[in-house]
Chain A
Amino acid sequence: MRIGIVTFPGSLDDGDAARAVRIAGGEAVRLWHGDEDIHGVDAVVLPGGFSYGDALRCGAIARFAPVMETVADAARGGMPVLGICNGFQILCEAHLLPGALTRNQHLHFRNRDQYLRVGATATAWTNAFSEGQEILIPVKNGEGCFVADEKTLDELEGEGRVVARYTRGNPNGSQRDIAAITNAAGNVVGIMPHPEHAVEALTGPSLDGLGFFTSALRHLAGTAAGGQLTGGAHR
């Protein structure tokens, strides 16, 4: 399975994301922001960093990158897309996910290992987890405070689209402790913390991040076989 990782000017974690894909057993394909061709990949990761220097708002300019038109079309067609940190911000700016990521409430950049509780496990990126599972992966952001209007928050919770919540302390003031969400179809997931930094004992606090990437591979294997692997959240 070929998973594309987009590099924007200012991306930082594209290398780690590609490595995580390889460790999970996938083929990592590097994609370029200025190239609208995504080279036939089966899924896409939008990595963390500071695309276009966070000019205007985080992710606001990246949304209009040539590659994003193709990625957005593919995402609407059901292709798995994972946005990590800046990638999450880009997905919100592109309206592929609801809400927005704003300045951390305390205004400090937060960089630490963070516990999360997995909510939705019927997505293309979280089917390897069990519901309620607590995982530990690094968080590192200055603008990770998830906000949306009450109606949207209620919808996300009511439809089981909160993919993960912060536990043992909310690092940025995100409403309802939301760390990760998915779209209605379950193929697009945005997450503020960094699963790609928790895939090896040498460098990460756990191996919990690997599950996001093995989930995608399993999801793709299931859809390739014509199976309905992850159930309810899929159209």
Chain B
Amino acid sequence: MARVVVDVMLKPEILDPQGQAVANALPRLGVSEVSSVRIGRRIEIEFAGEADLETAREIADKLLANPVIEDFTLRVDEPAAAQTSA
């Protein structure tokens, strides 16, 4: 089993009202140094065998992200890397 992680984010020029709503709530947590919050989506694709980045890219391009409003990045999620990733 191998996992590919796809991160989908709204393009920088697209307004993110959800992110804004979260940012606007932060002062109520006593946080004042945050200038912006943007919300995206993380998708984990499990392959039965080897991780197939090309197939994952096709899935992301055709279905997971809408290229009109979103960008995506993808990476193979190594079991060891999962421990240290931020």
Q: Provided the pairs A56-B63, A64-B63 are in contact, do residues A103 and B17 lie with their beta carbons within 8 angstroms?
A: yes
Contact present for A92 and B68 (CB under 8 Å): yes
Q: Provided the pairs A105-B15, A147-B14 are in contact, do residues A99 and B68 lie with their beta carbons within 8 angstroms?
A: yes
A149 to B68, CA, bound (A): 8
Contact present for B66 and A104 (CB under 8 Å): no
A29 to B14, CA, bound (A): 39
Residue B21 CB within 8 A of the other chain? yes
A64 to B66, CA, bound (A): 14
| Number of chain B interface residues as a range | 10 to 19
Closest CB of chain A to B70's CB: distance in Å?
9
| Chain A contact residues: helix, strand, loop or mixed | loop
Residue A39 CB within 8 A of the other chain? no
Contact present for A60 and B63 (CB under 8 Å): yes
Contact present for B64 and A106 (CB under 8 Å): no
Residue B26 CB within 8 A of the other chain? no
| Chain B contact residues: helix, strand, loop or mixed | loop
8 Å CB contact of B17 from A61, A100, A105, A149: A105
Closest CB of chain A to B3's CB: distance in Å?
19
A106 to B24, CA, bound (A): 13
Residue among A56, A61, A98, A173 facing the most chain B CB atoms (10 A cut-off): A56
Closest CB of chain B to A30's CB: distance in Å?
27
Residue A102 CB within 8 A of the other chain? yes
Q: Which residue of A lies closest to B10 (CB)?
A: A102
19 cross-chain CB contacts under 8 A: A56-B63, A57-B66, A64-B63, A92-B68, A98-B68, A100-B68, A102-B14, A102-B15, A102-B69, A103-B17, A103-B18, A105-B15, A107-B17, A107-B18, A107-B21, A147-B15, A147-B68, A147-B69, A148-B68
Given A102-B69, A106-B17, A148-B68, 15 other A-B residues pairs in contact with their CB atoms under 8 A = A56-B63, A60-B63, A61-B63, A98-B68, A99-B68, A100-B66, A100-B69, A102-B14, A102-B15, A103-B17, A103-B18, A105-B15, A105-B17, A107-B17, A173-B15
